A and B are shown apart, each in its own frame.
Chain A
Amino acid sequence: EAQVTQNPRYLITVTGKKLTVTCSQNMNHEYMSWYRQDPGLGLRQIYYSMNVEVTDKGDVPEGYKVSRKEKRNFPLILESPSPNQTSLYFCASSWREDTEAFFGQGTRLTVV
């Protein structure tokens, strides 16, 4: 089954404790993105990747890191999480930037 898989689905952590949210797709897609979704603000792109080893900042990259060492994986890293990073996070992939995006199930992160 074609899918984008994120883990974990739910995470509660404390301020400053490094965490990684994993994202994997099995569709051989070139373009992958991370978004955060907050009430009233919609989806905001954090980082995107055009291909392996090619990543770039979206609109809200501060406090996040990503890597794209393999085509299928695009982990999101929070080196020192803060409460303002409490949000619902989505990973998405698509053939190219101008084609349909397939979204993962979402990760609800709470930083206390």
Chain B
Amino acid sequence: QKEVEQNSGPLSVPEGAIASLNCTYSDRVSQSFFWYRQYSGKSPELIMSIYSNGDKEDGRFTAQLNKASQYVSLLIRDSQPSDSATYLCAVNEGNTGGFKTIFGAGTRLFVKA
């Protein structure tokens, strides 16, 4: 069974701090990686996608991918109370894995004002 694992949290950080969210995946053929944010009672929305090893930055968000270690992370700098949500890691296996998308169970983040 292919898996995507996340620490369920909750992760609590003070306002202005860096929040670090981690995700590991079991399938080496995975090709596409995504971070989604989901507010309570709402639909997921994309924060970041990453496809190659290294860092990808977008505003206060940085995604990091290490395919050798099967690890992808999301850093949120200058965390704000509005960042409080559940963060979902997702992996797609592409044509080597049948095009399925697998989500982790999510990490709940609380940013304290």
Cβ contact of A97, chosen from B8, B92, B105, B106, cutoff 8 A: B92
Quick one: given A97-B32, A97-B94, A100-B34, are A43 and B99 in contact (CB under 8 Å)? no
A99 at the interface (CB under 8 A from B): yes
Give per-residue flags for B21-42: 1 if the beta carbon is below 8 A from chain A beta carbons, else 0.
Answer: 0000000000110101000000
A44 to B31, CA, bound (A): 18
Contact A44 B103 (CB under 8 A): yes
A-binding residues in B (CB < 8 A): 8, 31-32, 34, 36, 43-46, 49, 51, 88, 90, 92, 94, 98-106
Quick one: given A48-B99, A59-B100, A90-B44, are A41 and B105 in contact (CB under 8 Å)? yes
Q: How far is the CB of B43 from chain A (nearest CB, A)?
A: 4
Cβ contact of B49, chosen from A31, A41, A44, A99, cutoff 8 A: A99
Q: Could you say which residues of chain A place their CB within 8 Å of the CB of B92?
A: 97-98
Residue of A nearest to B49 (CB): A100
Contact B43 A90 (CB under 8 A): yes
Q: Could you say which residues of chain A place their CB within 8 Å of the CB of B88?
A: 42-43
B-binding residues in A (CB < 8 A): 31, 33, 35, 40-45, 48, 50, 56, 58-59, 90, 97-101, 103-106
Quick one: given A42-B88, A97-B92, A100-B34, are A35 and B43 in contact (CB under 8 Å)? no
Quick one: given A33-B101, A44-B103, are A101 and B46 in contact (CB under 8 Å)? yes
A97 to B49, CA, bound (A): 12
A97 to B51, CA, bound (A): 13
Q: Could you say which residues of chain A place their CB within 8 Å of the CB of B51?
A: 98
A103 to B45, CA, bound (A): 7
Q: Could you say which residues of chain A place their CB within 8 Å of the CB of B105?
A: 40-42
Q: Could you say which residues of chain B place their CB within 8 Å of the CB of A105?
A: 43
